[in-house]
Amino acid sequence: MMIMFGAGGTGGHISPALSIARELIANDCKVCFVGNKNSLESKMCAESGLSFLPIYVQKLYRKITIAHLAFPYHLINSTFSVCKYIRQYRPDLVFCTGGFVSGPVAIAAIITKTPLYFHESNSFPGITIRLLGRYAKQIFTASDSVSRFFPAHKTTKVGIPINAAITTPHPFDPAAFGMSQTAPKLLIVGGSQGSLAINKTIDHIVPDLLNDGYEVFWQTGKSSYDLYSQKYSNTKGVFIFGFSQDLPTFYQNSTLAIARAGAMTISELEAVKLPAILIPLPTSAENHQYHNAVEQQQKGLAVLLEQKSLTPATLRELIRHLNDNHDEFVNRLNSLPENKSVTRIVSILLPNHNEARNITC
C-alpha cells in the first residue's frame, strides 16, 4: 500500500504527518511526501529518511501584495506536478494536514479520483480544508468545534498525532544543563524561529524567576540565540537553546510552560501533563492560535495571555497563578484520555484501501 502526504509550511502541519507515516511504515506500507523544495518539510523528511517529491507552491498572504499575482500560476503548475507524481507512484490514498502546501496535493487527488483524507489540528479549520474538505472521504479532527464546518458523517475526532518521543521516558541529568536536581523548571517554547515578543519579556523577568526559585529552559529560536546565549552564558539555572533534540526531556522535567498556541505544541503539553501560559501568535492564519488557546482555557488546561497584553508584570502574575493552582491544572490534564491519534487514524486507513485503482490525469 502506498500513501502520499501533502504536508508543509510549519512544523504543526509536518510533524503529525510524520508520526502517521512512521506508523504506516511499521505496518508495511510505503509513503512519500510532497512539499516545497528547500523547505522545512524537505529538511524534516530528509532527517527521517522519507521519500520527498518537490513542488513550488506559494502561500496566500493576509495582506495585499504583488506576490499574489503569481499565486494562480504556481498553484496550477504545482497541481499538475502532483498529478504526474500520482500517475508515477500510484498512491492508494492521499493524506493532507492542511496549510498552503496541501492545496495542490489535495486538488490533484480530486482530479485523479484518488481517495483524499484530511487531518485538521486546529480549533478553527484553515482555508485549504474549508474549501476542499467536501471532496474528502474522511476528515480527522482534534476538536469538536471543527466538526460544525463539515457533514457529520465525514468527520472523526481523533486528537493530534504526536511523536512517541515526547512521552517516552528519557534520562535527565540536570547538571548537564547547569541546573539543580530539586528546583522547579520553567519551559519557554517560542518555536524554532523563536518569538521576539516572548524573548524580550522573559529577558526582563529572568532575575525575578531565579529569585523565585525557578530554573529556565528557554528556546529563543535561531534569530535570538546568539544574543541571549551570550548574555546568560554564565548564569546558573538558565539553559538557552535555539533547537534541541533534548526538547522531549525538557517537556518531561518541567513544572510550567510558556508557549505559543500552535496545535502541535498544545498536544505535546497535554501529553506530558504540563500546565501552560499560552501566548497565541497574533498573525497566525485565521487567528487559529487564539481559538486554540481559548479552547484550552475553557477546559481549564492552560491560561490565555494575548500578546497585546504581554508585559513582564502580566506574565509574572500568570506564572504565580499557575504555580498557586498547579495541582488543579495537573489533575485536569491527568483526566484527559491517552493520545492514541496515530493508531486510530492508521486503523481507519488500512482496511479501506487494498484494491488497485485506475488513475486518470
What does the H/E/C string look like for 80-136? HHHHHHHHHHCCCEEEECCCCCHHHHHHHHHHCCCCEEEEECCCCCCHHHHHHHHHC
Whether residue 356 has pLDDT greater than 50: no
Same domain, 204 and 324: yes
If asked whether residues 246 and 330 sit together in one domain, one would say: yes
Same domain, 132 and 214: no
- Residue 170: per-residue pLDDT: 86
Do 200 and 51 share a structural domain? no
Would you say residue 46 lies in a domain? yes
Q: Which domain holds residue 126?
A: 2-162+340-352
Q: Quick one: 56 and 181 in the same domain?
A: no
Does residue 154 sit in the same domain as residue 271? no
Q: What is the pTM of this model?
A: 0.79
Indicate whether 150 and 181 sit together in one domain: no
Q: Which residue has the higher pLDDT, 288 or 23?
A: 23
Taking a C-beta distance cutoff of 8 angstroms, is the pair 96, 6 a contact?
yes
What is the band of 192 on the pLDDT scale with cuts at 50, 70, 90? low
pLDDT at residue 56 greater than cutoff 50? yes
Domain count, the chain: 2
pLDDT band at residue 63 under the 50/70/90 scheme: low
Same domain (yes/no): 223, 152: no
- Put the strands of the sheet holding 215-219 in their side by side order: 238-241, 215-219, 185-189, 256-259, 276-278, 302-304
* CATH number of residue 272's parent domain: 3.40.50.2000
Residue 358 lies in a domain: no
- 306 & 345 share domain: no
Asked if the structure places residue 146 within a domain, the reply is yes
**8 A C-beta contact, residue 212 and residue 191:** no
- Between 102-111 and 71-89, two packed helices, what is the crossing angle to 10 degrees? 60
Please indicate, yes or no, if residue 359 is contained in any of the structural domains: no
Q: Do residue 213 and residue 155 come from a single domain?
A: no
Give domain status of residue 360, yes or no.
no
Cα–Cα separations (whole angstroms), residue 52 to 35, 84, 138: 7, 14, 24
